[in-house]
Structure 1
């Protein structure tokens, strides 16, 4: 009896609280153990062990995105905020200066208006208008008489020959001008009300340009360090005597290559490339690898092997670079017998857009383009035989760099940094030369020993703001920092 009362009480209590008499036991969907914590919105339940494994997997996949947010997005937003604060401080001063100029212009216009009103002679204007009206009246009377006479002849003419004989004596051009003058309406005076807005439009010449999308100014974000700092050194065991390095702008990893293979820094497998040049690979803004294979074809996506540019004819690619500004491909090319060379700009789809081969005097610009890159001001930088050739976006020569007069230059890898500086690897002086955007030598950033064979490859990492330098004989990539973020970004 007591059990019946207890069941009845539980049933009534459940009805009052709108609860079901059934309950669900949460089990792990993978090991079928009971779970201590669960989420009602998740599609499957997992125990602590598998939750930790899933967390590590998601964290590894999101590491590149998190690194990009920490390294680029947050500092960029802080720098943009700093720029806006500076502009807000400058706006009141600009408005005051503009208001003073506007007040001065208004007073000048008021003075000119008074002077014109005083010097205005109404009688003279009246005489000129009356004279103009009489001239128009006389001209209209003469034109009416001529037209009336023409109409009378056309009616009284006995045959068409007589009418044509009359019109032959008329001056055709004068007759046509007369008709055009009659169709024209001359307005001598038009009454118009001048409003306050009309005066403001005449006085206001200030243009307000609001940018649609703000980009942080590099000079507010980065500062040069007094000394070069070696951050780390990373081994790439599957590549020997490397000659080129390309940094991935998405996750910060890099690709290193010798004359036969190319390898990614965080993976073990390698790709085979041709022995055609030096700077034979690049990375797009989306992190996709583009390289030159053994058949001189330019390949995109190492897994699907999409042929972007099929190398046919006498021109063969030697180096390649993907522009982060436009997404275009800059390809240094040379003939098979190396008698001519050029730089060709392709769209991301593989369609040729521009070819740079000669200067204004039809002299050849290049002999053997080994490396090519692009600066943020649009300049195209090519590492050639014993010279670094720099042209603008249209192909006009800006400057050449040949090193010191005594020692010369044997340039290899080239890259640029956000401050528009140009970094050149020189195998003759065994150092990395830093030039400004106009070709002036700023400093020798890195100096190797005289008996060394490096450096050969150099690349700039946009995420961490470091340079990656690769020698020739060893299999290590050295990561250096010479630019640091401004203090307010740290």
Structure 2
């Protein structure tokens, strides 16, 4: 036993003589007390975090690698974003944010979590246990009640069955009586006809003998004695027989249900929990729970207005809730914040038509004339990711990271789906009957249910075309007209969706923004000419459901809160 313990002693990795007492977390070295002092004096960029050897396996003393930069460890945290970061994260994203210790953020969140955990254990756990018991009792009650009801139904049905059996017996008896009566009468007429037939047979035999094999005198004497025998022949009366039938009766279901009895169905009434009972767990509620609380405001509220330098503005894509990319007349793309400050300026060969932000926050844009789609990474490196056969227009990035692109015109009009690397994976042009979906698709976005929403420009009739993910038509929307608001033909330009599945459509001709449901039902005009908007063109909705809108002629960006 003593020999085994001696062999299990961990030695200092530096002097190799003394037992190790300490462990350096970033370096992974085991140290004795004397070597610990020298180790702390060595210069390394990340510093040393030395703990007792017995504590080295504690989760807090393990090295956690960055999810974005797998070769770098989480060493500090961003106070603004409330997330752990590595050195590369600071350089790329958080360079202007306040930085703090991970332990400080951990202690803060730990205190909040303990408070919430206490509430869950002492209040919510007890309440939900009681509710489960009530649910189970309610379920048993419904089952027992329905068992009793079904027995009553069976008894009531048996009464009806007995009544119907009596009606059936009476109807069968009437049928048998009718059958007997007319069978007898027809039998009598049949006997008369058979006697007449026998008389005819006898006459035929007699007359054939007289005409063929007897002396001529006998025929002469027979006709002399029976001059009118042929004239006296008279056929029996002919019968016109009408077959019996049965006229099927119909049960009036609505009336007979009440005659049979009426089921009063079960009810489960939802009693909403008071807001106070869940206030401690609101920070950890699901996104879906938070979204369900949002409602459309009676009047949208403008929160920002920015005048751009370009002569005209057309296209927009939100990078986050504080900044957006814009482009318009001529080459170049700007990144601006809500105050109008230019955060970045991206040079382009041609005029950008479509703008979109990828899941990794890189920018993609299309150049219509050059038939090219470019990607601009966070480090400003620009690469051509898609070369298109037809002229590309509006584009968007889906929740799965795919790229949807409008392209072509009239006979070549289509929507094409690419993966994030630029490989074509779907092409949508016609429906199942070969009818074309588009003639000039321009703006495009994806809804929360993965529907594809495309604003369609057409000289005769413009519309919004909404397809499911497979490319089959869900619905079309050609404008909800209120004469006092819309004075011109519906002309959709920019289209966007929010977290509730609403579809927002900029109506350039009528200076309005339409709000419709994900099934195409008109909900409201969230902005009109009365709100001071003019020639709305590109629109985008950020992650907090703020509407960003560009006015084409005024080269102005406006931000609204409408939920």
Same fold (TM over 0.5): yes
| Deviations, residues 393-425 of structure 1 (Å, cap 9, x unaligned) | 111111111113974311110101111111101
Listed one character per residue, the Cα deviations across residues 248-304 of structure 1 (whole Å, up to 9, x for unaligned) are 14x63100011432111142523226347x4x1100122110111362211112532
Deviations 1:70-127 (A, max 9, x none): xxxx9xxx9xx9x9999777534433345567899999xxxxxxxxxxxxxxxxxxxx
2:417 touches 2:425 (CA, 8 Å); kept in 1? yes
Contact conserved, 2:549 with 2:557, CA < 8 A, in 1? Answer: yes
Distance, in Å, in 1 between the alignment partners of 2:99 and 2:289 is 23
C-alpha distance in structure 2 between counterparts of 1:352 and 1:274, whole Å? 23
Q: Who is 2:420 aligned against?
A: 348
Partner SS state of residue 269, structure 1: strand
Determine whether 1:414 maps to 2:498. Answer: no
| Higher Cα Rg, which structure | 2
Aligned 1:158-173 pairs, distance under 5 A: none
Q: Secondary structure at the match of 1:91?
A: helix
1:423 to 485, 501, 504: 504
> Is the contact between residue 371 and residue 414 of structure 1 (CA under 8 Å) also seen in structure 2?
yes
Shift in alpha-carbon separation, 1:467–1:215, aligned structure 2, 3 A? closer
Contact 1:218/1:418 (<8 A) preserved: no
CA contact (8 A) 1:64 1:252 kept: no
The alpha-carbon distance between structure 1 residues 223 and 333, as it changes in their structure 2 partners (threshold 3 A), is same
Q: Is residue 2:544 matched to residue 1:457?
A: no
Corresponding residue to 2:547 among 462, 467, 474: 467
Identify the residue that residue 132 of structure 1 maps to in structure 2.
none
Distance 1:439 1:101, change over 3 A: closer
2:88 maps to 1:61: no
Cα 1:398/1:84, change in 2 over 3 Å: farther
2:388 counterpart residue number: 311
Give me the whole-angstrom Cα distance separating, in 2, the residues matched to 1:471 and 1:89.
56
Aligned-pair CA distance for 1:436: 1.2
Structure 2 stretches of 5 or more lacking a match? 1-32, 34-46, 51-77, 81-89, 106-111, 149-284, 337-341
2:359 aligned with 1:285, yes or no? yes
- The count of residues paired between Structure 1 and Structure 2 equals 320
Instruction: Tell me if structure 2 keeps the 8 A contact 1:458–1:470.
Output: yes
> How many Å apart are 1:243 and its aligned residue?
0.7
**Per the alignment, do residues 100 and 308 of structure 1 end up closer, same or farther by CA in structure 2, a change over 3 Å counting?**
farther
Q: Give the superposition deviation at 1:216.
A: 2.8
CA shift for structure 1 position 240: 3.0
Residues 218, 419 of structure 1: 8 Å contact kept:
no
Q: Residues 233, 450 of structure 1: CA spacing in aligned structure 2 closer, same or farther, 3 A cutoff?
A: closer
Instruction: Normalising by structure 2, report the TM-score.
Output: 0.48
Q: 1:328 aligns with which of 388, 396, 402?
A: 402
Contact 2:313 2:556 in 1 (8 A): no
Q: Which residue of 2 aligns with 1:111?
A: none
- Checking the alignment, whether the CA contact within 8 Å between 2:407 and 2:442 is kept in structure 1 is no
Shift of 1:377: 0.8
1:393 has 2:473 as partner: no
Q: Which runs of 5+ in 1 are unaligned?
A: 1-17, 19-38, 43-53, 108-212, 484-490
Shift in Å, 1:465: 2.7
1:65–1:408 Cα change, 3 Å: farther
Residue 228 in structure 1 maps to residue 300 in structure 2: yes
**Do residues 361 (structure 1) and 402 (structure 2) align?**
no
Residue 137 of structure 2 is aligned with which of 93, 96, 103?
A: 96
Cα shift readout 1:31-82 (whole Å, capped 9, x = no counterpart): xxxxxxxx9979xxxxxxxxxxx9999996365999xx9xxxx9xxx9xx9x
* Cα distance change, pair 106–441 in 1 and its aligned pair in 2 (3 A): closer
Tell me, what secondary structure is at the counterpart of 1:339? helix
Name the CA distance, whole Å, in 2 between partners of 1:233 and 1:414: 20
Q: Give the conservation status (yes or no) of the 8 Å contact 1:334–1:342.
A: yes
Deviation at 1:430, TM superposition (A): 0.8
Distance 1:451 1:292, change over 3 A: same
Q: Secondary structure at the match of 1:231?
A: strand
State which of 245, 250, 254 in structure 1 corresponds to 2:324: 254
Distance 1:275 1:368 in 2: 19
- CA–CA distance in structure 2, aligned partners of residues 257 and 411 of structure 1: 19
Change over 3 Å in CA distance of 1:458–1:437 after alignment to 2: same
Task: Tell me the residue number matched to 1:301.
Answer: 376
Q: Residue 365 and residue 253 in structure 1: after superposition, are their counterparts in 2 closer, same or farther (change >3 A)?
A: same
Judge conservation of contact 2:527–2:533 (CA < 8 Å) in 1. Answer: no
- Counterpart-to-counterpart distance in 2, 1:88 and 1:472: 58
Structure with greater contact order relative to length (CA < 8 Å, sep ≥ 6): 1
Judge conservation of contact 2:292–2:500 (CA < 8 Å) in 1. no
8 Å CA contact 1:291, 1:299 repeated in 2 = yes
